Amino acid sequence: MSDPVPASGTVHWIGAGLSTGSGLAALCEAADRVRLWHRTGPRAAEALDALGLTGRAEPRAYDPDALTAELAPGDVVVSMLPATEHPALLALCVQERAHFACSSYVSDAVLEQVPEARAAGVVVLTEAGLDPGIDHLFAHSLVARARTAIGDDTAASYSLTSYCGGVPAEPNDFRYRFSWAPFGVLNALRSPARYIDDGSETTAERPWEATRRHVVDGEAFEVYPNRDSVPFVEQYGLPAGWKPRTFVRGTLRLDGWLRAWDDVFAELRVGDDTRIAALARELAAAYPTTDADRDRVVLAVSLDVHAGPDRTWSGAYLLDLVGDPDESAMARCVSRTLALGVRHVLDGSLPPGLNRAAETAARSEEWLGELSREGVHFTLRIDQ
């Protein structure tokens, strides 16, 4: 493994969308220099003013050539752009020997650049937001605690569920408000989900058809599987001798969501991309998140292990936050987690190559402690 390129102390935060919150302010404290790149210079300046950061970060008009001209070895590029933009940004970072960070899942196009990044001493930080991000921290912490209590060599079965959702703090009839790309919300529902149920791998071609009732801290929600959960069995370090009864990472919605969206699902079954894009625009206009609305983020991760009738262990993390007039709950969770990861790039504690929010129990505990001290609050319950 190559030595990491020493961090220069300069951070380039690219994009000032809905997930850019107080994490950017935290980086203004930690970094020597922060530049906010947005569609135009005036838009960047407006975003800084809205965040109370005028004079603490430099506004820039985003253009790949302009970024290249200002990028130096050891700088950190933080991408808040859509995931499709990340591969090109990462390639630029490798070329200029700058570090790269984002909150998105690792794509194949990013993954194939990791060997070159590692050889160049470049840190690639991904999955460092809310989901993915804090959910990984919770899962690694629970698995480590269960392994200590039960033992790696003990035959056992387990259920791990991880559900996350951004929902209205004040429920409406539609049981949802759109705060980010509406087409992305609908398109995710059209993508098959793979997970483990009753001990067997299962695929839901239409994830909403696998919706179940799920009670969190006495409150009923509706949940459904999302993406491919199965690779995370290995990523979370579950012992080979423990057999999964249930393993699912999914989306959480308010109780009554399935019924409220019945007409939407009818269109998802038959609509093509053009119709779904039009439907997304219609729904976003009908159910927007306005300045008067407050969002709520709920992330519930639980692990139950059974090693015999008299030997069980259960643990659960719950994050339940409501936004305020200064910042949405989603922006707080995503931006503060990402900023925490960037601070660890700046202090040289992350190695070159691919890093996720948490890949060890020790790092998970460290990051969870830091997030809690910085206003991202959660609870842990353990029964054994």
pLDDT at 189 exceeding the cut of 90: yes
Query: Which pLDDT belongs to residue 213?
Result: 98
Q: What is the pLDDT of residues 29-62, one digit of tens each?
A: 999 999 999 999 999 999 999 999 999 999 999 9
Q: Token pair 């020597």 is at which residue?
A: 32
- Selecting among 131, 135, 295, 304, the annotated active-site residue is 131
Query: What digits encode the pLDDT tens for the residues 316-354?
Result: 999 999 999 989 999 999 999 999 999 999 999 999 999
Q: Is the pLDDT confidence value at 205 over 90?
A: yes
Q: Over the stretch 147-177, which tens digit does the pLDDT of each residue have?
A: 999 999 899 999 999 999 999 999 999 999 9
Q: Quick check: 233 and 180 in contact, CB under 8 A? A: no
Residue indicated by tokens 């990402």: 338
- Name beta bridge partners: 336: none
Q: What is the pLDDT of residue 19?
A: 82
Position 166 scores a pLDDT of: 96
Residue 111 reports pLDDT greater than 90:
yes
Residues above pLDDT 70, as percent of the chain: 100
Please check the confidence at residue 230 and state whether its pLDDT lies above 80. yes
- Would you call 150 exposed, middle or buried from its count of C-beta atoms within 10 A (0-12, 13-18, 19+)? buried
Q: Distance (Å, rounded) from C-alpha 327 to C-alpha 176?
A: 19
Given a cut of 80, whether residue 2 has pLDDT beyond it is no
Q: What is the pLDDT of residues 281-312, one digit of tens each?
A: 999 999 998 889 999 999 999 999 999 888 99
- 10-14/33-38 β-pairing: parallel
What percent of the chain stands above pLDDT 90? 90
Report pLDDT for 221.
98
Which residues have a Cβ under 8 Å from the Cβ of 98 and sit 6 or more positions away? 5, 71, 72, 73, 74, 75, 76, 77, 92, 122
131 is a catalytic site residue = yes
Residues 313 and 150 sit within 8 Å (Cβ to Cβ): yes
Question: What's the whole-number mean pLDDT along residues 122-146?
Answer: 97
User: Do 283 and 295 touch, CB atoms closer than 8 A?
Assistant: no
pLDDT of amino acid 309: 82
Mean pLDDT of the chain: 95
Q: What is the DSSP string of 25-66?
A: HHHHHHSSEEEEEESSHHHHHHHHHHTT-BTTBEEEE--HHH
Task: Show the domains of the chain with their CATH numbers.
Answer: 10-126 (3.40.50.720), 134-328+358-383 (3.30.360.10)
What value, to the nearest 5°, has the Cα angle with vertex 27 and ends 90 and 4? 45
Q: Which residues contact 200 (CB under 8 A, 6 or more apart)?
A: none
**For the residues 369-373, what does the mean pLDDT come to?**
95
340's CB contacts (< 8 A; 6+ apart) are 23, 26, 128, 367, 370, 371, 374
Query: For position 1, what pLDDT does the model report?
Result: 60
Q: Which residues have a Cβ under 8 Å from the Cβ of 24 and sit 6 or more positions away?
A: 13, 34, 36, 51, 53, 57, 335, 339
